Homo-oligomer: A and B are copies of this chain.
Amino acid sequence: MIVREKGNWLRLLFVWHGSVLPQILPRLLVLGILSGAVVYGHGHLLHYKVPLNAAPFTLFGVTLAIFLSFYNNASYDRFWEGRKQWGALLNTTRSLARQALTLGHHPADAPGPPHFVRLLIAFTHALKHQLRYTDAAPDLARLLPASVAQAVQGAAFKPVLLLLEMGRWVQQGRENGQFDTTTQLAFDHNFNLLADIVGGCERLAGTLIPYTYSVILHRTVYLYCFLLPFGLVDSIGWLTPLIVVFVGYTFMALDAIMREIEEPFGLGANDLALNTMSHTIESTLLEMVGAPVPPAPERAARYIFD
C-alpha cells in the first residue's frame, strides 16, 4: 500500500512511484509509434485513406463505460471488503483480549490471558501467511508452545485450527472454574466472528470477478486504443499521437490499477499492507496485556507499506 506524499496539485502531475505508469509504458510507446505511423502514412500510402472517423468510438464508449465502471467498482469493493475484514480482525481480537482480561475469575495456576493473546497474534499471522502463500512456521514457532506450533503447521487450514485451540483454552478455563458457561459463550460469539473473517478472506482470495469479464474488457480496451489513431487522424492530424497516447493512458492505467486491487491480499504496490496491519494487531494486543511492543517491520521504500 502506498501512502500518499503531501504535495501541491502541480507536483502530483509528475509523481512516479505509486503510479502504474512504469507497467504500461511499453504499451503506450507502441501505441504512440503506431499513431505516428498512421499520421505519416495518412493519404500517402497509395493515395488511400482508412475511412474511419470518431463516430463509432462514441458507440464503443457505451459498452466500454459499462465494462470499466462495473469492473472498477467490483474491484474496489473487493479491496475495501478485504480492508474491512482486516479491520474486523483488529476489532475482534481486541474484544477477545478484553474478554480474557475482564471476564471470569483468574486463578493463579491457569494459563492466563498472555497465552490467549499469543494465540490471537499467531492466528493473525497465520491468516496473513495463508492469504499470501508464505510460510507461517517462523511466526508460529515464535509465538506458540512447540506442541501447538507443530500440530498447526501440518494443517491445511491453520487459522481454523488456532481458533479451535482458543476454544479449547476457554473450555479448559470453564472446567477449571475460571469461566461459567455463559461467559464461555461470550467468547464463543467472538470466535464465530473470527471464523467469519477467515472465511471472508478466503472468499475474496479464492473467487475473483468472473474471468470472462476480464477477457472481454481487456479486448475492448486494447482494440479501442489501437483503432483510435485511424479514427482521429483525419480531424486532428499531427496531434493524433498526443491525444491517442493520453486517451490510451487513462484506459490502460484504469485497466492496470483495477486488476491490481481486485486481489487485495497480493504484494502489488496498491494492495493491502497485511504486514503492517498484523504488526498493529500484535502491538495493540501486547499493549493491552502490558507486554513490550515489538519494533515496526522494515519497509521496502519510504511511502510503501507491504
Given contacts A56-B236, A202-B90, contact A160 B210 (CB under 8 A): no
**A73 contacts the other chain (CB 8 A):** yes
**A103 contacts the other chain (CB 8 A):** yes
Chain multiplicity (copies): 5
Contact A101 B13 (CB under 8 A): no
Contact A270 B210 (CB under 8 A): yes
Residues of B within 8 A of A69 (CB): 66, 69-70
Contact A247 B59 (CB under 8 A): yes
Contact stretch, chosen from A116-124, A132-140, A141-149, A176-184: A176-184
Given contacts A196-B91, A284-B156, contact A212 B66 (CB under 8 A): no
Choose one: B13, B53, B156, B188; the contact of A186 (CB below 8 Å): B188
| Chain A to chain B contacts (Cβ below 8 Å), 15 pairs | A3-B211, A12-B214, A13-B218, A13-B219, A58-B61, A61-B62, A87-B203, A94-B198, A98-B195, A102-B167, A102-B168, A102-B171, A161-B288, A210-B257, A216-B253
4 more CB-based (< 8 A) A-B contacts, given A2-B212, A102-B168, A164-B288: A88-B196, A182-B185, A190-B192, A211-B270
